[in-house]
Amino acid sequence: MRNHPVIERMEQHGFLTEQQHFGNDANGNEVFVGDVIFEFNEEFWLEDQLGYGEVQILKTIGAERKLAQ
């Protein structure tokens, strides 16, 4: 079972301040400005929620790894 999104952000980033919401990725994960995403054909995926194989596939098809802005 996953933790509440606020707890996950606190564990990942070490703070509780409200972050600016960027949107939801193709898998339904909340993405905030400053999170690392993969972008391809106007879709994006939160890197922290991807497995090794998924990252390799995205890299192979030419997805761009960048910060959500």
d(CA 31, CA 59): 20
- Read off the pLDDT of each residue in 5-32 and give the average, rounded to a whole number: 83
**Number of domains into which the chain is organized:** 1
Two tokens, residue 66: 């960048």
- Domain hosting residue 55, numbered range: 5-67
pLDDT tier at 12, thresholds 50, 70, 90: confident
pLDDT at 16: 60
pTM reported for the whole predicted model = 0.73
Give the count of beta carbons closer than 10 Å to the beta carbon of residue 50. 19
